[in-house]
Amino acid sequence: MVTYNAFKNKFFNLFGQIIKYGLVGIINTLITAVILFTLMNCFGVSYKASNAAGYIAGFINSFFMNKLWTFKENRTSTLTQFIRFTAVFVVCYLLQRGLLIFLVENLIIDKNIAQLIGMAFYTIISFIFNKLFSFKD
């Protein structure tokens, strides 16, 4: 039987992680966006290559901020967490990239708007996968 206090602590812990993940996500989004929009709009790099460069930079920042601050999971080795985090990143990135290409090439949505939609999609699915797999309690 779960006590009220145990339920409350678990709820507030999850809520705190969502808030922290959101803040890390904002920072990652800024890093990703600055890099990808700069490469795409200032240097004429393709939207696909710009997208990859931006997400790689965000990935590196995200791993360390989420490990050390959001999930504070230290029972599992950093290497194991990094491998799991990388697997989650690859899956989420490929799903996001597929959505991005679909939006730009099939629905003819502006590449800048499509990038923003892809970022929101990525953030939601990556939180779920990271919570349940990369940094599981």
- Would you give the DSSP letter of residue 106? T
Query: Model pTM?
Result: 0.71
Contacts of 45 (CB under 8 A, 6+ apart): 39, 53
User: What are the pLDDT digits (tens) for 20-62?
Assistant: 998 998 998 899 999 999 999 999 999 999 989 998 999 899 9
User: What are the pLDDT digits (tens) for 70-100?
Assistant: 988 777 788 988 999 999 989 998 999 999 9
- Is the per-residue pLDDT at 2 higher than 80? no
Cβ(18)–Cβ(35) below 8 Å: no
Alpha-carbon 57 to chain mean position: 11
Contacts of 73 (CB under 8 A, 6+ apart): 67, 81, 135, 136, 137
Distance between CA 14 and CA 8 in Å, rounded? 10
Cβ(61)–Cβ(26) below 8 Å: no
The pLDDT of residue 137 is 63
